[in-house]
Amino acid sequence: MNDADLRKHTVSGEGIRHYIDLDRYSPSLDTLHSWFPIGYDEAIQHWSEDSLHAHGIGPWHASSTYRRLIGAFDRKNEAAILRLAVDLAHYISDLHVPLHTSGNYDGKQAAQNGIHALWETQLPEAFMADYNLFPTGPQALWIERPDDLIWQSVLESHACLDSVFSFEQQTRASFEGQRIDAYVERGRVRQLMRSPAFAAHYHAALDGQVERRMAAACHRVSSLWYSAWIEAGAPALDVQAPAARTGWKKVVDWLIK
Ligand SMILES: [Zn+2]
């Protein structure tokens, strides 16, 4: 998820698959809801491919990755299933991060730089132990319209941005006169991030938002994996195959659940 650096240096290619700057399309959530979902070919007619690429193609790429996963299940191609299942999980998870739906993805427009790593890295690292990522149990659901689910996820993320930005501003205001950043230990490196006190204040203000977005991502990823397998005709998967002992078995375990 941490592609803030990547996207700075990437005009096209992998970087643009991880986000969509919805605010470059319209400032109005109602308008966005009336325009999306839209198929990629139709979107090109409206905005041109250059323009789509300039603002990120996350939802469309997640959709095409899902369809390729169906093909991999259909061919029972273990290596492709694993690779595409992991890719799909990555793209879907990224689209559940509110800041992956905004041109203001690191808060620079209002001097809130660093908010990207704060929301998607520092807060989960500090508070994940308290999260329940499967509040409705581990059951994967059959998804009849995957594109609708993908765009629903993206538009939900976008609707979170108001809180993401405004609570950070409010937290700043309540820390007036104090330092808001600090060197934080991350594994073996020390990195300048928001101070732990600032992160805790902001996390409390968000009132479970990070946890809810992560739980939604987990449920939808597992449901899309399951649905791709169903779409391929629910092929029997040989979990005993030698190449399968680690990652492959994890995918199958997900499906069985
Ligand atoms: Zn990110």
Ligand 1 centre from 256 Cα, in Å? 30
Ligand 1 centre from 94 Cα, in Å? 6
For residue 13, the model assigns a pLDDT of 83
> Which tokens in the block code for residue 32?
């966005």
Ligand 1 centre from 223 Cα, in Å? 22
Ligand 1 centre from 127 Cα, in Å? 18
For residue 187, the model assigns a pLDDT of 81
Residue with tokens 């299933």: 81
Instruction: Report the candidate in 100, 90, 93 with the shortest Cα–Cα distance to residue 161.
Output: 100
Q: Is-contact 142 230, C-beta < 8 A? A: yes
> Which tokens in the block code for residue 139?
């059951």
Ligand 1 centre from 133 Cα, in Å? 19
For residue 122, the model assigns a pLDDT of 95
Q: Is-contact 98 160, C-beta < 8 A? A: yes
Ligand 1 centre from 5 Cα, in Å? 9
Instruction: Tell me the one-letter amino acid at 27.
Output: P
Q: Is the alpha carbon torsion for 239, 243, 245, 250 positive or negative?
A: negative
By CB neighbour count within 10 A (0-12 exposed, 13-18 middle, 19+ buried), where does 207 fall? Answer: exposed
Collapsed DSSP state (helix, strand, coil) of residue 238: coil
Instruction: Tell me the one-letter amino acid at 118.
Output: L
Q: Spell out, as residue ranges, where the chain has pLDDT lower than 70.
A: 1-12, 240-257
Q: Is-contact 16 40, C-beta < 8 A? A: no
Q: Is-contact 89 155, C-beta < 8 A? A: no
Ligand 1 centre from 96 Cα, in Å? 10
Q: Measured between alpha carbons, how far is 164 from 255 in angstroms, rounded to an integer?
A: 34
pTM above 0.85, yes or no: yes
Q: Measured between alpha carbons, how far is 88 from 92 in angstroms, rounded to an integer?
A: 6
Residue with tokens 């976008």: 158
In this structure, are strands 189-194 and 181-186 parallel, antiparallel, or unpaired? antiparallel
For 56: left if phi > 0, alpha if psi spans -120 to 50, otherwise beta; the answer is left
Ligand 1 centre from 6 Cα, in Å? 10
For residue 55, the model assigns a pLDDT of 96
Instruction: Report the candidate in 152, 209, 185 with the shortest Cα–Cα distance to residue 37.
Output: 152
Alpha helices in 96-246 (DSSP H): 115-117, 123-127, 146-159, 161-174, 196-206, 209-231
Q: How far apart are the first and last CA of the chain?
A: 26
pLDDT tens for residues 155-180? Answer: 999 999 999 999 999 999 999 999 99
